[in-house]
C-alpha cells in the first residue's frame, strides 16, 4: 500500500524547493528527474544511499513505463519502499503535469458563422 498521496500543487512546490525551479522545466521533466537521480547515485557515499537512489529511480522508471512494483518494494526495507513510492508518485505527477490540457471543441454551425 502506498503512503497517502499528497496534493499535486504541494508536491510541485516541494520539489521546486528541493531540486529545481519546476516552472521552467522542459516537456521531458521526468527524464530530467531520472538523470538527476542518476547523478545523485554517483555521489552516494554509503550503500544505503545508493540503494535509496536506485529505488527512487526505479519508481520514476515505473511511472514512465506505466508499471508498478509496489508489492516487490513492500518486502524490502521501509526506507527503500518509501523512496520507491516517492519516485513512483513523483513520476506520475510529472506525467500528469506535462500532459496538454484538452481544449473544449466548440462546433460552429453554419448559421452562427453567417451572422
Q: Summarize pLDDT for 28-57 with one digit per residue, the tens.
A: 788 889 999 999 999 999 999 999 999 999
Torsion of CA 25, 28, 31, 32, to 10 degrees: -20
Question: How many whole angstroms separate alpha carbon 85 and alpha carbon 114?
Answer: 56
Q: Which tops the pLDDT comparison, 113 or 46? A: 46
What does the pLDDT read at residue 69? 96
For 77-91, give one letter per residue: b (16+ CB within 10 A) or e. Answer: eeebbbbbbbbbbbb
At residue 91, the pLDDT reads 94
pLDDT of 8 over the 80 cut: no
For Cα atoms 105, 110, 111, give the angle at the middle one, nearest 5 degrees. 115
Q: Decide: 90 and 61 in contact? Cβ < 8 Å.
A: no
pTM (2 d.p.): 0.64
Give the pLDDT confidence of 49-100 residue by residue, as tens digits: 999 999 999 999 999 999 999 999 999 999 999 999 999 999 999 988 877 6
Tell me: pLDDT of 7 over 90. Answer: no
Q: Collect all residues with Cβ–Cβ distance below 8 Å to 15 and sequence separation of at least 6.
A: 22, 90
Amino acid at each position: 500500500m502506498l503512503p497517502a498521496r499528497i496534493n499535486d500543487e504541494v508536491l510541485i512546490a516541494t520539489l521546486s524547493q528541493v531540486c529545481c525551479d519546476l516552472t521552467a522545466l522542459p516537456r521531458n521533466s521526468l527524464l530530467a528527474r531520472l538523470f538527476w537521480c542518476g547523478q545523485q547515485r554517483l555521489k552516494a557515499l554509503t550503500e544505503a544511499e545508493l540503494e535509496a537512489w536506485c529505488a527512487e529511480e526505479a519508481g520514476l522508471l515505473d511511472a514512465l513505463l506505466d508499471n508498478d512494483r509496489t508489492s516487490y518494494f513492500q518486502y524490502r526495507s521501509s526506507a527503500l519502499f518509501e523512496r520507491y513510492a516517492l519516485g513512483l508518485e513523483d513520476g506520475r505527477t510529472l506525467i500528469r503535469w506535462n500532459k496538454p490540457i484538452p481544449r473544449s471543441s466548440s462546433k460552429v454551425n453554419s448559421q452562427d458563422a453567417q451572422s
